[in-house]
Amino acid sequence: MIRDRGRIKWTSMMLPEHVKLLRDWVKEDGYEQKREMDEQQLELMNETLSEAIEFDQFVTITHYQNRNYEIVMGKIHYWDELTHKLHVIDRFEEVHRISINAIADIRITNV
């Protein structure tokens, strides 16, 4: 059996700056690109958002933050028109302020 250590054996010959650049490159490789929304998806999300606010329902919101998609589950507290953000309160009473431009998907959740 060959006991090859892979990347470990090469890092001793590299400068620390090069090692940092390689680690940053690997981290950037995991970033997700923001998807563009078409009009039908936006209209469907608008209907779901209106229904969730009107009937005080739990929603699952997928939004783009810090170069990755994140999921928040909770109730929409209110919509701030000045900053264009939704204020969502999750099950742990934590407030999330989500920009309307960052939202990728909204679904009503049955809890």
pLDDT band at 97 (very low <50, low <70, confident <90, very high): very high
Domain for residue 95, yes or no? yes
Q: How many domains does the chain have?
A: 1
Domain for residue 92, yes or no? yes
| Contact assessment for residue 93 and residue 77, using Cβ atoms and an 8 Å cutoff | no
Residue pLDDT, tens place only, 12-64: 677 888 888 888 888 888 788 888 888 999 999 999 999 999 999 999 999 99
Greater confidence (4 vs 106) lies with 106
Domain for residue 9, yes or no? no
Structural domain for 76, as ranges: 39-108
Domain for residue 6, yes or no? no
Domain for residue 18, yes or no? no
- CATH number of the structural domain spanning residue 102: 2.30.30.520
Question: Would you say residue 72 has pLDDT above 90?
Answer: yes
Greater confidence (14 vs 90) lies with 90
pTM of the model: 0.72
Q: What is the C-alpha radius of gyration for the chain, rounded to an integer number of angstroms?
A: 21
3-state per-residue secondary structure call for 66-105: CCEEEEEEEEEEEEECCCCEEEEEECCCCEEEEEHHHEEE
Tell me, what amino acid is at 13?
Answer: M
Domain for residue 8, yes or no? no
